[in-house]
């Protein structure tokens, strides 16, 4: 899915053990060397111990791929939760030996002994490899010591490789297993990668998949992956693989730390952290806004009227000239902003038309009881089609049939052709 997008020839971070992608850190190399050397030198018991996800099975499969199949007789037990009798029958099955028709352990071991001597004479090495050995019952481990007694004067007839998790080390300390514990000649502990090894591991995997450029991840993204994986190859594979899938989903040519943090949160099965304080603050702000909207919707007329008065009180009051007087309307509850009207000019003032004209334009905030026609009558002292048309032209928001809204500011211009 994402291979072409990131120029990859194959999936670089498969979880299943794949010897092709085996990366040898110091301890991994030591474990593989111990297996090869211990088997070739017929040392008998070899133990490889390490935590879950460190690549023990991958090391085993890598050895099996390079082993000389003609010189070796390999018996691989990957699900060893069986009693010793069942283990012996599994060995017979793997070696393609006809098992005796008996459940007597002594006879089963003796028949196997004869087979091992014959293989030794032919130059063959028989290897019993048990993975997840910590799952073997204690009684099976105790009886396993019997197989180590099958030997020639100088060499062991069967080489036994025990691969298990750290709890196997504790199991070996049991008193009944002290002989088995002492029989283990080579013992290697696989340890997690260091930060440098983790970075080299990611680079190695990408190169094996055909991508030589590690900048497919940002430095910060790599830092997050390495720190969270703590040197465990399996977790490195999971995080890097999921980051590639998620990055492809976001169409990121370079995978960012943000994407990696999201992958880590998903891997841990947790939600992204939410800042509780910020969440409460946002919720409170949202509630305040909703409340304000509700109040405004319920008292729209009153709110618009008050807002209009606050912001236009200065512009609404007309300038008082010699030809004007101010009429103040009073109501029981409030004093309304006055409308400017002209008084009747005296004879001495008839020739002062210029001063009278300076009162325009007049601005008025519409109140509940106002109508367009009443305001025209009040401002101009008369009403006609010309004035109505002129006022409507000046105030584009006047609706059809002269509808005006409470709180709206109306501008009354100077009459064009007198009154």
pLDDT tens, position by position, 200-241: 999 999 999 998 877 899 999 999 999 999 999 999 999 999
User: pLDDT tens digits for 344-358?
Assistant: 444 444 444 444 445
Average pLDDT, the chain: 80
At residue 256, the pLDDT reads 95
Beta carbons of 205 and 6 less than 8 angstroms apart: no
Question: Where are the domain boundaries for CATH 3.40.50.300 in the chain?
Answer: 26-190
Burial of residue 259 (CB within 10 Å: 0-12, 13-18, 19+) is buried
The maximal CA–CA distance of the chain, rounded, in angstroms, is: 149
Please state at what angle helix 276-298 crosses helix 300-316, rounded to 10 degrees: 80
Helix (H, G, I), strand (E, B) or coil at 176: helix
Q: Which residues face 353 on adjacent strands?
A: none
Q: What string of H, E and C letters represents the secondary structure of 24-84?
A: CCHHHHHHHHHHHHHHHCCCCEEEEEECCCCCHHHHHHHHHHHCCCCCEEEEEECCCCCCH
The count of other CB atoms within 10 Å of the CB of residue 211 is 18
Taking each continuous run of H as one helix and of E as one strand, the counts in the chain are: 16, 9
| Assigned token pair, 85 | 């009798």
**Distance between start and end Cα atoms, the chain:** 82
- The rounded distance, in Å, linking the Cα atoms of 47 and 189 is 8
The ranges of the chain with pLDDT < 70 are 153, 270-358, 417-419
| Cα dihedral 242/244/249/250 (nearest 10) | 110
Report the topology of domain 26-190.
Answer: Rossmann fold (3.40.50)
């Amino acid at each position: 899915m994402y291979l072409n997008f990131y120029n990859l020839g194959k999936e670089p971070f498969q979880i299943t053990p794949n010897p092709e992608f085996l990366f040898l850190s110091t301890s991994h190399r030591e474990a593989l060397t111990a297996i090869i050397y211990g088997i070739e030198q017929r040392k008998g018991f070899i133990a490889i111990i390490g935590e879950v996800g460190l690549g023990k099975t991958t090391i085993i499969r890598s050895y099996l791929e390079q082993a000389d199949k003609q010189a070796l007789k390999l018996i691989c037990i990957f699900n060893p939760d069986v009693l010793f009798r069942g283990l012996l029958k599994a060995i017979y099955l793997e070696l393609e030996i006809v098992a005796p028709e008996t459940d007597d352990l002594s006879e089963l071991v003796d028949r196997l002994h004869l087979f091992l001597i014959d293989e030794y004479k032919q130059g063959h090495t028989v290897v019993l490899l048990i993975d997840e050995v910590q799952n073997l019952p204690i009684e099976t481990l105790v009886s396993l010591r019997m197989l180590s007694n099958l030997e020639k004067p100088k060499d062991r007839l069967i080489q036994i490789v025990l691969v298990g998790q750290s709890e196997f080390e504790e199991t070996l300390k049991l008193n009944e297993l002290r002989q088995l514990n002492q029989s283990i000649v080579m013992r290697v502990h696989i340890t997690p990668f260091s930060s440098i090894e983790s970075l080299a591991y990611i680079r190695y995997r990408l190169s094996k998949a055909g991508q030589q450029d590690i900048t497919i991840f940002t430095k910060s993204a790599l830092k997050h992956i390495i720190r969270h994986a703590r040197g465990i190859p399996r977790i490195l594979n999971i995080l890097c693989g999921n980051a590639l899938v998620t990055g492809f989903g976001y169409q990121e040519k370079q995978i960012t730390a943000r994407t990696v943090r999201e992958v880590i949160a998903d891997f841990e099965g947790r939600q992204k952290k939410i800042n509780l304080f910020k969440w409460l603050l946002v919720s409170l702000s949202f509630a305040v806004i909703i409340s304000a909207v509700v109040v405004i919707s319920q008292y729209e007329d009153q709110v618009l009227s008050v807002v209009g008065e606050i912001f236009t009180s200065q512009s609404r009051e007309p300038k008082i000239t010699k030809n004007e007087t101010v009429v103040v309307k009073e109501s029981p509850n409030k004093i309304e902003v006055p409308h400017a009207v002209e008084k009747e000019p005296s004879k001495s003032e008839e020739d002062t038309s210029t001063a009278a004209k300076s009162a325009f334009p007049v601005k008025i905030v519409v109140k509940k009881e106002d109508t367009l026609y009443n305001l025209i009558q009040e401002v101009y002292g008369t009403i006609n089609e010309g004035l109505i048309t002129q006022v409507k032209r000046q105030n584009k928001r006047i609706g059809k049939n002269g509808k005006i809204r409470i709180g709206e500011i109306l501008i009354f211009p100077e009459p064009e052709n007198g009154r």
